[in-house]
A = this chain, B = another copy of it.
Amino acid sequence: MILSDRNSMFSPHLPLGDQQSAPWYGKDIISVKQFTKEDLEYVFEVAHEMRVMVERIGTFDLLKGKILANLFYEPSTRTASSFTAAMERLGGSVIPINEVKYSSVAKGESLPDTVRSLECYSDVIVLRHPEVGASELAAKYASKPIINGGDGVGEHPTQALLDLFTIFEEQEEVNGLTVTMLGDLKNGRTVHSLSRLLSLYEVRLNYVSPDILRMPPEIVGELDEKGIPQREFTSLEEPLPDTDVLYATRVQKERFEDPDEYEKVKGSYIISPQTMRVAKEDMTLMHPLPRVGEISMELDDDPRAAYFRQMEYGMYVRMALLAMVLGKA
């Protein structure tokens, strides 16, 4: 598989000399599997600089004159807005393309043709697509960099990176942390990607879920091999007091065959001020959003509640990636 071969992920956009001097120039961002631990730390270093710059001066002209094509085959307000803001805060411009279903594509145009047309107008393409592998396919044909903005149940690498970056920024050090994941761990793409990224560090992981929504055995097995201590629970009560980072996700009623079963468990996965009384003073509470009741709004002003800051960290990570693949970081 292409994803396992690091070199084939990267399109040869530049003569060798230039690539060496700006190692991410022209590369595609398709999967978290591309990133070594050193790569991650480089991304986060650049993202942190972006944060400092935005807090100090708001925007700056690092990517002035560059154009991002935001190609969304399915709507995702949050991801589209975050990339738009990232590009605009760097002085670049955006071509928003949200209606692909109505136009050329509806006439049967293939994804490679759409991408090869759009790259005539733009310097980088963010692709959101409902089908697994769409970004990889696009990257194969495009000569400009492709950034995967989510491809169905496949990958959403910028979400995974922003989750880890949030932990870096909130806790400062990842080694030594106890991270507890809560909710639907079976279907949650975000918790799968995050647990894989965390396995590059010395962490302890707790999984808290209803029995039918447990973390998939292949992920548990993968992390076992890397020597990551993992424990499973059906209630937050036991692991919470030792938790440094609590990553909550949504438990959807539709996942349960028996509605009574859902009614029985749902209360255990709602985080209230009451729940947080036994949590550490300096822990971090995360959620990929949107939430629908999993975390009480009363907690929003709790300094441990990091889920809105998480959105902001996402913008910094996307600024970093855009600058990197355009050869400006």
User: What is A's interface to B at a CB cutoff of 8 Å?
Assistant: 57-60, 64-67, 69, 75-78, 81-82, 84-85, 88-89, 93, 95-100, 102-105, 107-110, 112-113, 116-118, 120-123, 289-292, 297, 300, 308-309, 311-312, 314-315
Docked Cα-Cα span, A273 to B312, in Å, equals: 50
User: In the complex, what's the smallest C-beta–C-beta distance from A295 to chain B, in angstroms?
Assistant: 10
Q: Which residues of B contact A100 (CB under 8 A)?
A: 77
Closest to A87 in B: B93
Q: Which residues of B contact A300 (CB under 8 A)?
A: 116
User: In the complex, what's the smallest C-beta–C-beta distance from A127 to chain B, in angstroms?
Assistant: 14
Q: Which residues of B contact A58 (CB under 8 A)?
A: 65-66, 123
Q: Is the CB of B292 within 8 A of A108?
A: yes
Known interface pairs A78-B104, A103-B77; A88-B67 also in contact (CB < 8 Å): yes
Q: Is the CB of A107 within 8 A of B290?
A: yes
Q: Which residues of B contact A89 (CB under 8 A)?
A: 65, 67
Among the listed B59, B99, B105, which residue makes an inter-chain contact with A98, where contact means beta carbons less than 8 Å apart?
B99
* Copies per complex of this chain: 3
Among the listed B85, B103, B112, which residue makes an inter-chain contact with A78, where contact means beta carbons less than 8 Å apart?
B103
Q: Is the CB of B117 within 8 A of A78?
A: yes
Q: Is the CB of A308 within 8 A of B116?
A: yes
Q: Is the CB of B290 within 8 A of A104?
A: yes
Q: Is the CB of A290 within 8 A of B96?
A: no
Q: Which residues of B contact A64 (CB under 8 A)?
A: 59
Q: A107-B290, A107-B292 are in contact. List 18 more A-B contacts (CB 8 A).
A: A58-B123, A59-B66, A67-B88, A67-B89, A75-B99, A75-B103, A77-B103, A78-B103, A78-B104, A81-B97, A84-B121, A104-B290, A109-B290, A109-B291, A116-B300, A120-B311, A120-B314, A121-B312
Docked Cα-Cα span, A80 to B121, in Å, equals: 11
Docked Cα-Cα span, A69 to B82, in Å, equals: 11
